[in-house]
Amino acid sequence: MDHEQRVRLAQELCARTATAFPGDLLLAGLYGSTARGTDTPWSDLELLFVVRDGGRPRSRELLCQGIAVTVTALPRRKLERTLTHPCRQWPFWMGILSVLEVLHGDPAQPAAWLQMGQAVPPHAFRQALERELPGLVVESYGRILSCQARGNRDDIACAVLEVLFEMRDALCLLNRRWVTHDYFQGLLETFGFPRLPAGYRELVPALWQAREIDEIAPLAERLYVGYRRLLAEEGLRWPDYPDVSQVPL
């Protein structure tokens, strides 16, 4: 399937859904490589349906003419709450809205939602990041060290990816920004953020390309130390309870 055929497939799916569920489909759009025009014959098709609260269209993953299709149906209230109450999903939806090619509904609506997300005060992002921090980077960095201790060459590359993508999410919230690509290209987009760990732009590509344990571990340590230092300099609280009795319940 070439690009034009993939776009027609997206248009047909949106049109059929709007006809089948009149009034439920508020906005339908295309994102990902097909929206950017960088798709290949093997690319998937990614669609966002914003639906009326209680609307009937549902999220689905399917094959259509041999193409993997992902339809994410999101109630409007849930989307707007995510945009106005930052969490780890805030950069994801802001990134999609910023590149969404509208196929059904008001073409100006994604820009209005982006403005909604950008209007959130800075302190809300700091609070969101503090809530997310215990689940970001620490465990995955520890997994790198565990792989080194065990001589486990099979799993360490996966741990590196976890560190990099979790750090990306944390930096998105810290900087109140987002990326529009997955994988390595998305990491490259973070290089334009104003607040980054020391050496981040050099360490990320080096870690991505590293293959040997003795090369990976010291690079990961430098990146992790810089990350922790950045968060401390930003005044973000990262409690480490010395006694289980102090853990809030």
CATH code of the domain covering residue 172: 1.20.120.330
pLDDT digits (tens, 9 = 90+) for 12-29: 999 999 999 999 999 999
Number of domains composing the chain: 2
Residue 237 confidence class, pLDDT cut points 50, 70, 90: confident
Q: How many CB atoms lie within 10 A of CB 199?
A: 14
pLDDT at 234 over 90: yes
The angle at the Cα of 166, spanning 163 to 173, to the nearest 5 degrees, equals 145
User: In this structure, is residue 13 part of a structural domain?
Assistant: yes
pLDDT for position 238: 81
pLDDT at 162 over 90: yes
Residue 83 confidence class, pLDDT cut points 50, 70, 90: very high
Compute CA distances 113 → 18, 34, 76, 189, whole Å: 21, 22, 10, 21
pLDDT for position 240: 87
Which one of 81, 102, 119 terminates a domain?
119
Note whether 102 and 62 are same-domain residues. Answer: yes
User: In this structure, is residue 23 part of a structural domain?
Assistant: yes
Euclidean distance between CA atoms 84 and 154, whole angstroms: 41
Query: Phi-psi category of 36—alpha, beta or left, where left has phi over 0 and alpha has psi -120 to 50?
Result: alpha
Note whether 114 and 208 are same-domain residues. Answer: no
DSSP alpha helix (H) spans, 53-121: 76-84, 90-99, 109-118
Note whether 104 and 185 are same-domain residues. Answer: no
pLDDT at 1 over 90: no
Note whether 114 and 136 are same-domain residues. Answer: no
Note whether 136 and 180 are same-domain residues. Answer: yes
Q: What is the dihedral of CA 185, 191, 195, 199, to 10 degrees?
A: 110
Note whether 101 and 207 are same-domain residues. Answer: no
For residue 19, the enclosing domain spans 3-119
Residue 206 confidence class, pLDDT cut points 50, 70, 90: very high
Note whether 38 and 142 are same-domain residues. Answer: no
Note whether 145 and 192 are same-domain residues. Answer: yes
CATH code of the domain covering residue 81: 3.30.460.10
Note whether 154 and 210 are same-domain residues. Answer: yes
pLDDT digits (tens, 9 = 90+) for 39-69: 999 999 999 999 999 989 999 999 998 999 9
Edge to edge, the sheet with strand 25-31 lists 60-64, 67-75, 45-51, 25-31, 101-104
pLDDT at 239 over 90: no
pTM of the model: 0.94
